[in-house]
Amino acid sequence: MDCIHLTNIRCYGYTGYLPEEQVLGQWFEVDVKLWLDISTAAKTDAIEDTLDYRSVISSIQHLVKTAKFALLERLVGAIADSILQQCDRVTQVQVIVSKPAAPIPDFGGRISIELTKAKSNL
């Protein structure tokens, strides 16, 4: 199966365990890998024969901006479900959500949650 990768989708959102995170917000980065058949588009060069990934990016940005979940795990699951429900051509999705500046004392790294989900698991 073919894949489309969308990486470094930066969004400001309000998901976080601490109450301040849901009020002040923070930056998130989202990477997605979409499994679908692109063979027809590879021949026709027509956007209607593939996935218009601009709509996927917009949907992810909207969800991150408007959701107020306590856990990154919930946000990752919501993004995966949204893509699988909205995109008929996509058979499987991998979503990685990263928090580049998590409010954890003495921690300068990033936290990432990865989820892979098939349409058959909806």
**Residues annotated catalytic, as ranges:** 99
What are the Cα distances from residue 11, in Å, to 3, 8, 74, 89, 92?
23, 9, 16, 25, 23
Return the closest-CA partner of residue 47 out of 81, 85, 89: 89
Tokens 């004392």 belong to 105
Give the three-state DSSP class for 87.
Answer: coil
Q: What are phi and psi of 6, to 5 degrees?
A: -120, 115
Could you tell me if residue 93 is left (phi over 0), alpha (psi between -120 and 50 degrees) or otherwise beta?
beta
